[in-house]
Structure 1
Amino acid sequence: MAYQDSSLSNPTSWSDLGTSNGKKFGSELLETGVNSSGRKLPQLLPNARFIFPTAKPRRSSAFKRIVLTQWFDVARIPDPEYRKETQIQGLMESVVELEQLIRQEASIVSPQNVVIGGLSQGCAMSLSVLLVLDFPLGGFIGMSGWLPFRKEIEGAIQEDDDDAEIDDDNPFATSKSVNEFELQARDPPLKALTFERDLLSLPPLANATKASTAQDTPIFLGHGDSDEKKPYQQGEAAARTMQAAGYEVVWKLYHELGHWYKIPDEIDDIITFVKSKVGWVMSEG
């Protein structure tokens, strides 16, 4: 979304990396995303610009090799852990494309005024992109999603550096000393970034610190408790892992909701998140 109102000091952008067909999903979200007062997202944010990119056509392992537009391949829809190596190529290609889009928007409106997110695979792709960024964004909104390679990311975060010991009382200790840079490399957000960039074959960041991550990006994750395509436990686990990586996460579970967003409850919660965590101004009219 991009605020064009000259009375506002900072324009804002919200990119939805949400679905394989950005035009279709975007039109539906802007039309049906209604809050409890009956107002649609464009009415709540009249000066905002929405961006809905579309993924490239890729062969689908889950649907007998037919070609679908998707950010990355998934071998089994309800279980993204199954044959997850099929996801790597698409994740690698898509993260380059989407990071470029985000940087382009951030150069126009500043990173603090950019919000990304998506639904289902778009949420998963967006979380992967967030983890490789070397700067924070205004916010993240994910619906009915999951975190690819979550267990591996969590393992990287929890990995201990047992071979490095610190002896503050003895500056001449013979054990391996740890400098400030090495200490910062132990920070969970930096561990997550380092792992994700290596997983997706992105070059490592030189002299990276916790400040060169997207850790300060607040995250909203919503999920339905009746979601059969992506059981809510996957979204809940993604929330826990992102919290373990040092991110602030708002997790919402919606009763009797399938693989979609709940109207008006989830729209209300998203608007509250945007106001309180991102700091955007809502239209009163």
Structure 2
Amino acid sequence: MATSARIVAPTAPQPHTHTIILRHGRGSNGSVFCDELFESEDSSDRFIVDIFPTVKWVFPSAMESYTMSDGEFQWFDMSSVQRPQENNEIQKSGLWHSVAQILLVVEEEANVVGSQNVILVGISQGCATGIFALLASGIRVGGFVGLNGWLPLADEVQGITKVPGRVQDVLKMPVLLQHCKDDDIVPVENGDDLKKRLEEMNMCVKWECFDDGGHWLNEPEGMDGLVDFIQMVMIAT
């Protein structure tokens, strides 16, 4: 594995069919994200790890990178998650470093199950890093899920996708975005901006916005949406 990660192997006796790579938010790590997600239930009181027994779950952790002001683990430095387009220059070095990390993990898992059977999920800064990595590299996976996120270096990455002759297959990738209106960390407007920018690239985006849930997914409706999306990707592949 290219970086430290919490890995949960498939639980079924059947072969490993899919890999879901999940990137945590700023100030968290892979193990914490894993524990929190696996404690969340859908409307039928089911845990997601039990719903998908042939899935391998990979929860990478960010390298030890700290903000000058907050002293938090993060995927890249930035001055404000509320205003993510400010001070773009300080974001670039860490962002591109994290892109290289995630693409290596994607490549490793794609070599096992095929890229169409890899799903990338990210929350908050993990969402931002994940969608940027796929758009900037042009690499397509089976699907992308973004929770309470945004698009970093938005104008720059939109320009990259318009380069003549560039492979556009990534723009055909299905996307699920969720955001909670009472998120007091990343404003819902940032998630709505991400949705609009992806739609401007002609991507197929499913947008689910919930009244409550804070800086997390709404339970149980948000978990229902996540389960439905994963099932849709698995059926399609």
TM range (shorter): 0.7 to 0.9
Q: Quote how far apart the aligned CAs of 1:279 are.
A: 2.1
Q: TM-score, normalised by structure 2?
A: 0.87
**Does residue 29 of the first structure (1) align with residue 33 of the second (2)?**
no
Residues of 1 paired with 2:69 and 2:175: CA distance?
A: 29
1:80-95 equivalences in 2 (<5 Å): 80-95=84-99
1:198 match: none
**Does residue 43 of the first structure (1) align with residue 1 of the second (2)?**
no
Residues of 1 paired with 2:128 and 2:182: CA distance?
A: 19
Which residue of 66, 85, 88 maps to 1:59?
66
Runs of 4+ aligned structure 1 residues displaced above 6 Å come to none
Which residue of 9, 12, 17 maps to 2:23?
17
Which residue of 74, 78, 81 maps to 1:77?
81
Q: Quote how far apart the aligned CAs of 1:273 are.
A: 1.4
Alpha-carbon deviations, 1:78-111, whole Å to 9, x = none?
2112222211111011111110110010000000
Q: What secondary structure, in the 3-state scheme, does the structure 1 residue paired with 2:208 have?
A: strand
Q: Quote how far apart the aligned CAs of 1:2 are.
A: 7.0
2:225 match: 269
Residues of 2 paired with 1:56 and 1:276: CA distance?
A: 32
Q: Aligned residue pairs: how many?
A: 228
1:107 match: 111
How has the CA–CA distance of structure 1 residues 2 and 140 changed in structure 2, closer, same or farther, with 3 Å as cutoff?
farther
Residues of 2 paired with 1:245 and 1:278: CA distance?
A: 24
Q: Quote how far apart the aligned CAs of 1:11 are.
A: 1.2
Q: Is the 8 A contact 2:148 2:216 kept in 1?
A: yes
Task: Calculate percent identity across the aligned residue pairs.
Answer: 29
Q: Quote how far apart the aligned CAs of 1:240 are.
A: 1.1
1:254 match: 210
Q: Quote how far apart the aligned CAs of 1:4 are.
A: 7.5
Q: Quote how far apart the aligned CAs of 1:34 are.
A: 0.6
Unaligned 5+ segments in structure 2 are 1-7
Which residue of 147, 151, 154 maps to 2:151?
147
Unaligned 5+ segments in structure 1 are 158-189, 196-206
Q: What secondary structure, in the 3-state scheme, does the structure 2 residue paired with 1:128 have?
A: helix
Further displaced range: 99-108 or 270-279: 270-279
- 1:123 maps to amino acid: C
How has the CA–CA distance of structure 1 residues 130 and 2 changed in structure 2, closer, same or farther, with 3 Å as cutoff?
farther
Q: What secondary structure, in the 3-state scheme, does the structure 2 residue paired with 1:58 have?
A: coil
Residues of 2 paired with 1:231 and 1:72: CA distance?
A: 19
